[in-house]
């Protein structure tokens, strides 16, 4: 019997994974995601002589074509949480994403959360702006600069190194607040009828995925462990698969 990675990873990583899935179950009507490649749900490899394990869980809902939660664990202390909620193309919703990277020293070296807009001017819908602006500002001691391809993120994006347990808990609380806002608005959102608007949203999601596929750090780790061909398939089918056809509600 495989042990869930949530029992092995950095406590903050496991805590956030549990909270995300719990909020999904609370606010959304989850259904199995049928398009996940069967061989990518649970993967084992090696990185510089150490065991690397990846565990993926995916769901879908009326509003979201794919809810993806990934955990990765390197035996000597690299733990990663990666989560993205891809809306269906006929729902004018931003793309929720969050990542945590825990190092062998126990520090969270990278923590990011955002609601990435699908508008060309990088603005979020007013209903999101109103809700997010009402949150107490969260000041983290060691903010990090976004990558060069980071123009997909919103003005509400948080990206930082977490210096201690207190900051870790504050960050998790902020992720929960973003996620609750997102789920509540999504439940009230009606699907678009305009094919032009749907095509526009699909193109913005394609742009988001193409930019995320430029993440060299993720690609290098995977290539060292699984090879170039496998990594390209994983990046383009599991992590950031590009919507190419109309995505209609279930």
pLDDT tens digit string along 107-152?
Answer: 899 999 999 998 877 789 999 999 999 999 999 999 999 998 989 9
The predicted structure's pLDDT at residue 10: 87
The pLDDT of 224-234, averaged and rounded, is 94
In a domain, 194, yes or no: yes
Distance of CA 92 to the CA centre of its chain: 18
Look at the block and give the residue holding tokens 């202390």. 77
The predicted structure's pLDDT at residue 185: 98
The pLDDT of 54-62, averaged and rounded, is 97
In a domain, 152, yes or no: yes
The pLDDT of 17-21, averaged and rounded, is 97
| Domain of residue 219, CATH code | 3.40.1500.20
In a domain, 250, yes or no: no
Question: In terms of Cα–Cα distance, which of 61, 29, 72, 68 is closest to 217?
Answer: 72
Q: What CA–CA distance (Å, rounded) separates 230 from 121? A: 35
The predicted structure's pLDDT at residue 249: 40
In a domain, 95, yes or no: yes
pTM of the predicted model, to two decimals?
0.93
Tens digit of each residue's pLDDT (9 = 90 or more) over 181-215? 999 999 999 999 999 999 999 999 999 999 999 98
Percentage of the chain with pLDDT > 90? 77
CB of 115 closer than 8 Å to CB of 156: yes
Q: At what angle do helices 11-27 and 165-188 cross, to 10 degrees?
A: 20
Q: What CA–CA distance (Å, rounded) separates 154 from 151? A: 8
Q: What CA–CA distance (Å, rounded) separates 82 from 99? A: 5
The pLDDT of 53-74, averaged and rounded, is 96
In a domain, 244, yes or no: no
CB of 111 closer than 8 Å to CB of 103: no
Rg (CA), the chain: 17
Domain range for 56 is 5-239
In a domain, 197, yes or no: yes
- DSSP strands (E only) in 63-185: 64-74, 78-87, 95-102, 108-116, 142-143, 158-162
The vertex-20 CA angle with 248 and 11, nearest 5°, equals 150
In a domain, 246, yes or no: no
CB of 59 closer than 8 Å to CB of 85: no
Residue 163 pLDDT more than 50?
yes
In a domain, 28, yes or no: yes
The pLDDT of 10-15, averaged and rounded, is 92
**How many domains would you assign to the chain?**
1
Question: In terms of Cα–Cα distance, which of 234, 225, 221, 229 is closest to 49?
Answer: 225
């Amino acid at each position: 019997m495989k042990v869930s990675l949530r029992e092995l990873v950095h406590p903050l990583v496991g805590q956030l994974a549990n909270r995300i899935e719990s909020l999904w179950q609370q606010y959304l009507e989850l259904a199995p995601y049928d398009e996940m490649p069967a061989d990518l749900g649970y993967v084992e490899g090696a990185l510089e002589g150490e065991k690397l394990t990846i565990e993926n869980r995916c769901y879908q809902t009326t509003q979201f074509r794919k809810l993806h939660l990934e955990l990765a664990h390197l035996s000597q202390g690299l733990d990663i949480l990666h989560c993205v909620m891809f809306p269906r193309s006929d729902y004018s919703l931003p793309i929720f994403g969050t990542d945590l990277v825990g190092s062998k020293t126990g520090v969270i070296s990278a923590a990011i959360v955002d609601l990435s807009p699908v508008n060309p001017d990088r603005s979020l819908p007013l209903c999101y702006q109103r809700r997010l602006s009402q949150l107490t500002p969260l000041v983290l001691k060691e903010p990090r600069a976004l990558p060069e391809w980071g123009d997909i993120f919103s003005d509400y994006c948080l990206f930082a190194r977490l210096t201690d347990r207190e900051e870790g808990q504050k960050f998790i609380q902020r992720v929960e607040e973003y996620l609750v806002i997102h789920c509540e608005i999504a439940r009230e959102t009606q699907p678009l009828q305009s094919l032009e608007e749907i095509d526009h949203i699909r193109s913005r999601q394609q742009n988001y995925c193409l930019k995320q596929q430029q993440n060299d750090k993720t690609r290098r780790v995977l290539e060292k462990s699984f090879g170039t061909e496998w990594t390209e398939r994983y990046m383009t089918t599991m992590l950031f698969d590009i919507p190419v056809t109309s995505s209609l509600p279930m």
